[in-house]
Amino acid sequence: MKNDKMKWGMLAACLFVVLLSCKKEKEDPKLDNGKVKAWETLIDGNSLANYTSFEAQWNYNYPWGTDHNGSARMVGSTSNHNQISVNGGVLTIKATRLASSPGNSTSNGFTNVPIWYSSGTCYAKQQVIINDQFPSYTISGDFAVPTVKGTWPAFWITGVNSWPPESDIMEFKGSNTNWQNTYDGSWENKLTAVSNAGAYHNYKCWYNKVSATDVDCHYYIDNVWVAQHKMSNSVNKPMWLIINMQMEGDSGTPGPSGDTFYTGKNIYMGRERAF
Amino acid sequence: MKNYLVKICLIFCGLMTCLLLANCKKDDVPIPENKANSVIDGINLLRQSGCNCGTESMPPVPLLKLNTFLQDAAQTHARDMAQKNYFDHFSPEGTSPNERAAAAGYPGIFISENLAKGYNNADQVLTAWKNSVSHCKAMMDAKNREAGMGTAQNYWVVTFGAP
């Protein structure tokens, strides 16, 4: 008899536990420090679909003009696509050797560099600004690059109002070594040999605000993490995104005598919008 | 006879326990259609009527269509956050929202992603997103034409795109 009572008691306890468990599912939900995050796309591969899309999101040449730190002068406009063109989602930049030099670079600090090439550059109308409202960005693209001496393709961001900051997501200087660099007053460099760089590879950086002044830069090649740099004092400093092909300079001389091509596609810029 | 009843009850209890345990393994169960729809439907109600995002009045916009590729991307991310205990658009391996949409096979253009954590039902998530200007504007963005929703534990993801 005692055993029977014990068995019934155990059964009742078991059923009680089952009922309690069921009740949990129906309890009013309680908030557990609810959080939200939003991500938005600013530039996608569609910006290279045709000239209407391209010119809506990109400007020709550098933000400061046609010349910089190498022997190429950038040529490009709504009516001249000899050196920079888009077609079906692909951006093509062509560098052409000139028969004679039209003079030296007009860029500050490089006025001793003679111009020997016509090439192409564009920069995004959308600036990058990392701050409390936009604490995280990712910028990426697929690029097929030249690696011969004297060719200097790059995909990078640099300060609008000051230099530093600078972050080079992709930069080849006359070899198959990709330089991913961060400059905040001193340089951090990550050099990676890329096999078959003339075929498309993906280059990416994830920027993440980590303090009131500093940003961490996580660099990737083909979605493999390769380096983390610190870009100090770069919060709230607007930056340009630039795609360009300079020639000679840091990539060596003499550059090629024939045409050199640099192509890109699936260019993406997205960011977290905190409020 | 009593022993017989006791045995029946024990079997019944065992079955109930099995059912409960099966229900506990929520992460491996596909999202019920109604749960996914409840979030997308809630967003569509806002899109149908228009709403205020902060102080800005947002006009009515076309309704979102449920897209299975975007749903795969959203579910993958919700599950990943729950399993690895983080809350971010970027995964610890460095995968971004646009890459997840592409990896899921989405042929359209990824546009945006809304995340929530710590809410237990769709109404709470929608209220939190509506109260945040950035999330509210994403829900009301006319460029967004289709979406997918994923959830795991109390993580919620909606991925927006356009064909």
Over residues A18-67, the pLDDT tens digits come to 555 544 444 334 455 799 999 999 999 999 999 999 999 999 999 999 99
User: Collapsing DSSP states into helix, strand and coil, what is residue B124?
Assistant: helix
Structure tokens, B52: 């205020």
pLDDT of res. A25: 41
Q: What is the mean pLDDT of residues B96-102?
A: 97
The closest of B112, B115, B133 to B53, measured between CA atoms, is: B133
Please determine, for residue B24, whether its predicted confidence score (pLDDT) is greater than 60.
Answer: no
CA distance linking residue A18 with residue B21, whole number of Å = 11
Query: In the prediction, which pLDDT does A79 show?
Result: 98
What is the model's pLDDT at position B37?
Answer: 75
Query: A-chain residues within 8 Å CB-CB of B20?
Result: 18, 21-22
A272 is catalytic: no
User: Which residue in chain A is spatially nearest to B126 when comparing CA positions?
Assistant: A36
Average pLDDT over residues B71-97: 97
| R_g of chain B computed on alpha carbons | 20
Whole-number pLDDT of residue A33: 79
A55 assigned to active site:
no
Residue of A nearest to B116 (CA): A36
Residue B26 vs residues A189, A218, A253, B121, B127: alpha-carbon distances, Å: 46, 34, 63, 15, 24
Query: A67 vs chain B: nearest CA distance in angstroms?
Result: 34
Compute the nearest-CA separation of B95 from chain A (Å). Answer: 8
Encoded tokens for A155: 């995909």
Cβ–Cβ gap A4/B118 under 8 Å: no
- pLDDT value of residue A113: 98
In angstroms, the Cα distances linking B18 to B7, B14, B15, B132, B141 are 17, 6, 5, 41, 45
Q: A interface toward B at CB cutoff 8 Å?
A: 4, 7-8, 11, 14-15, 18, 21-22, 25, 29-41, 44-46, 136, 138, 140, 204, 206, 208, 218, 220, 223, 225, 268, 270, 272-275
Report the pLDDT value the prediction gives residue A24, as an integer from 0 to 100: 45
pLDDT tens digits, A70-96: 999 999 999 999 999 999 999 999 999
d(CA A206, CA A16): 52
DSSP string, B98-121: HHHHHHTT--SEEEEEEEEES--S
pLDDT averaged over every residue in chain B: 87
- Give the torsion sign (CA, A220, A224, A229, A235): positive
SS3 B157: strand
| From A25, A34, A45, residue closest to B128, measured CB to CB | A34
pLDDT confidence of residue A13:
62
Does the ipTM exceed 0.90?
no
* Chain A residues within 8 A of B114 when measuring between CB atoms: 36-39
Supply the pTM of this predicted model.
Answer: 0.85
Q: Which of B98, B115, B117 to probe by mutation at the A interface, max A CB count within 10 Å? A: B98
Token digits for A85? Answer: 């063109």
pLDDT beneath 70, residues of chain A: 1-32
Report the pLDDT averaged over residues B41-68: 97
Looking at the complex, report in whole angstroms how far the Cα of residue B11 sits from the nearest Cα belonging to chain A: 11
- Helix, strand, coil percent values for chain B (each to nearest 5): 50, 20, 30
Among the residue ranges A19-28, A211-220, B79-88, B146-155, the one predicted with the least confidence is A19-28
CB under 8 A, 24+ apart: contacts of B105-108: B105/B69, B105/B72, B106/B67, B106/B69, B106/B70, B106/B73, B106/B161, B107/B69, B107/B163, B108/B67, B108/B146, B108/B161, B108/B162, B108/B163
Q: What is the C-alpha separation between A178 and A181, in angstroms, rounded?
A: 10
Mean pLDDT of B69-89: 97
Q: Do B20 and A18 touch (CB under 8 A)?
A: yes
